[in-house]
Structure 1
Amino acid sequence: MTRVRRKRMHCNNKELHRKYKTKRRTKDLDQVQHDLLPENKSRLLNQPEDEDLPGLGQHYCVECARYYTDDRMLTEHRRGREHKRRIRDLKAPAYTQKEAEAAAGLTTDNGRALSSSVVGPQSLLSLKRKNDIEAVAKAAEKAAASSEITAMVTE
């Protein structure tokens, strides 16, 4: 009798392991960019000794948000692929809240944010109509103001 092939194909899938790995999860890129500000970076590099952290918390990589046991391990880490990839990713600016809302579809075409009570496509149509009415009213106000100005100039 031969061995039957196992059906669990996900056990050797690196992508799944990385996706669900939370034990060694580090800070996200926008949090690290906040840590790279000069006042925050100096605070992180000059931490008091902590017995719970590796190397008493004295060897810290700010870009990767990781502690190392000694200076040699930190310098080896800085030469590595993982650190260089993280630095390359940090060169791009972080997304703002406005960009995130636009990507999620929480803004209209004219850039105005939707209120939290507005949900669904029917609400989006009514909001668009309301914005169109406001735009027409503003255009009428501008036309009235410009006609008043031309009347003053001609007098």
Structure 2
Amino acid sequence: MTRVRRKKYHYGDTHIRKKYKTKRRTKYMDEIHDDMKPENAEKMLHQDVDLDKPGSAQHYCLHCARYFINLQSMTAHFRSKQHKRRLKALEEEQYTQKEADAAAGLGTYKPTTKKKVLTQEVSEDVGMKDTKE
């Protein structure tokens, strides 16, 4: 008997395409850096009740831009490898136009500095705000 050759029938159907689908797309790093600024972080962590979002938008991970159904699942997420990798990626400063110009030779290059990013504090008492109609 001869060996059977493996046939790849679907040319574009790869595991690489899966990560680029818009269904699974999360916020980009520069958007998360903007959300981490104190004035924006307060708004993101204390959102009004939105019944269309998981957990009525009361349990939100600022660094991963994810909603959770309850406090227990959010604290389990904080211990996960995915969250720790995101914190490590956010330690590097946001890429700016000034840095891009310096890399192109239009200025002096200054290596990026790292800042310490800690997991957000979790409050046990989640006060659900109702929207004023």
Give your verdict on TM over 0.5: yes
Task: Note the residue ranges of structure 2 that are not aligned, 5 or more in a row.
Answer: 108-133
Specify the structure having the higher radius of gyration (Cα). Answer: 1
SS of equivalent to 2:50: coil
Alignment of 1:75-114 (within 5 A): 75-100=75-100, 109-111=105-107
The CA distance in 1 between the partners of 2:92 and 2:84, in whole Å, is 14
Task: Spell out, residue by residue over 1:65-86, the C-alpha distance to the aligned partner (whole angstroms, 9 max, x if none).
Answer: 1111111111111111111000
Residue identity opposite 2:7 in structure 1: R
RMSD: 2.4
Distance 1:3-1:30 versus aligned 2 partners, 3 A rule: same
Q: Does 1:63 align with 2:67?
A: no
Task: Spell out, residue by residue over 1:96-116, the C-alpha distance to the aligned partner (whole angstroms, 9 max, x if none).
Answer: 02333565x5xxx454xxxxx
Corresponding residue for residue 32 of structure 1: 32
Task: Note the residue ranges of structure 1 that are not aligned, 5 or more in a row.
Answer: 112-155
Residue identity opposite 2:16 in structure 1: E
C-alpha deviation, 1:2, in angstroms: 7.8
Distance 1:69-1:31 versus aligned 2 partners, 3 A rule: same
How many equivalent pairs are there?
105
Distance 1:101-1:25 versus aligned 2 partners, 3 A rule: farther
The CA distance in 2 between the partners of 1:70 and 1:93, in whole Å, is 31
- TM-score for both structures, normalised by structure 1: 0.59
- TM-score for both structures, normalised by structure 2: 0.67
SS of equivalent to 1:98: helix
Residue identity opposite 2:29 in structure 1: L
Question: How many percent of aligned residue pairs carry the same amino acid?
Answer: 44
| Greater than 6 Å deviation, 4+ residue runs | none
Pick 1 or 2: higher relative contact order, CA cutoff 8 A, min separation 6. Answer: 2
Higher helix share: 1
Residue identity opposite 2:87 in structure 1: I
